[in-house]
Amino acid sequence: MSSLFEPYALRSLTIPNRVWMPPMCQYSAAPEGAGAGAPNDWHFAHYAARAAGGTGLIIVEATAVSAEGRISPYDLGIWNDTQAQAFRRTTDFLKGQGTVPGIQLAHAGRKASTDRPWKGGAPVGPDAHGWRPVAPSPVPFDEGHPVPSELSAEEIRTVVGQFADAARRALDAGFEVAEIHGAHGYLIGEFLSPHSNRRTDEYGGSYENRTRFALEVVDAVRAVWPDDKPLFFRISATDWLAESGWTADDTVRFATELKEHGIDLLDVSTGGNAAGVRIPVGPGYQVPFAARVKAETELPVAAVGLITDVEQAEKILANGEADAVLLGRELLRDPSWARRAARELGADVHVPDQYHRSV
């Protein structure tokens, strides 16, 4: 049997294959008004196409737990019930295609309030639907970025509650998997790394203090997320800053703690917390970080990062380097990648009745 098309069980959920779609922001929601942050026709068509293409799990893009937690004013949100109910159309369709619907719960921290990438991605102010970002410390992400407002201990507790509230709404919206976004230099990742966390209270300084906020979020979400449903955590395994940032050693140590707190799978990425860092990008360049977590801990992992080729993806799983692969840009290029991969490997995958002529 093909490793890519072997079902995968987590808690009571069985995902039909190991071809998964990672969160990829579409920057296509309304920035204000009654429909602010809610999914629309673009989001439905985008995710529906990948489900019809045979993708086993689709994790909906970074969805903000609060308005100021959006990366851009055009991001999805799930801080109110109107937004949650608007997701129902998508989650129902995905389930109808045999695809498991997941959602990434996120807060952008100091990297919030930026324009859409195709508009340059620069910080935006109130005249362009923007706001002042918040962070663990008043340290801007890069030159030209505003100094974020340092979160007080009380404000930190508020954000923890926002993650829990978002998880409740995600359940009501029909999602089967929730993922906490702790990667790419957004708020949780900012707390983890000494590069961005300069606090001197119980949330800064030592490794134990820097991981405190992340574990509080995990505990709060796990408390409201059903025991029979999986909870993921996305992490940047390294800041690519040698010893001055979050490291691969930290990730391995943290993975064990995440499992103890109820995380079922670690979605392993890298980078994003420091501007101007040189990253050795190449095919599968992040896979070794996932492989190390899998080899040294008992926490299942998913690998991501320039995984494009069917043989490459199959080999990652067959070699035991990861439990699943997340294909980002490749699924943007080819919504039916899973169906094509199944044909190449002689495996079975869901095909909509309307597409049987393509088999």
Residue with tokens 């926002």: 162
Q: What is the number of domains present in the chain?
A: 1
Strands 231-236 and 177-182, bridge-based pairing = parallel
154-157: long-range pairs with CB below 8 Å, 24+: 156/203, 156/213, 156/216
User: Taking a C-beta distance cutoff of 8 angstroms, is the pair 186, 126 a contact?
Assistant: no
Judge whether 1 lies within some domain.
no
Least confident span in 21-30, 181-190, 348-357: 348-357
Residues in the chain: 359
Judge whether 81 lies within some domain.
yes
d(CA 187, CA 9): 30
Q: Which amino acid does the sequence have at 225? A: W
Judge whether 71 lies within some domain.
yes
Judge whether 145 lies within some domain.
yes
Two structure tokens written together for 246: 């979050």
Which range of residues forms the domain containing residue 69? 8-358
Indicate which CATH number applies to the domain containing 298: 3.20.20.70
- What is the predicted pLDDT for the residue at 205? 97
Judge whether 3 lies within some domain.
no
Which one of the listed residues 8, 27, 186, 203 is annotated catalytic? 186
Judge whether 282 lies within some domain.
yes
Reply yes or no on whether the pLDDT at 206 is more than 80.
Answer: yes
98: left (phi over 0), alpha (psi -120 to 50) or beta: left
Two structure tokens written together for 146: 């505003």
Check if 207 is active-site.
no
Judge whether 68 lies within some domain.
yes
Backbone angles phi and psi of 103, in degrees to 5: -140, 140
- What is the predicted pLDDT for the residue at 92? 98
Judge whether 2 lies within some domain.
no
Reply yes or no on whether the pLDDT at 299 is more than 90.
Answer: yes
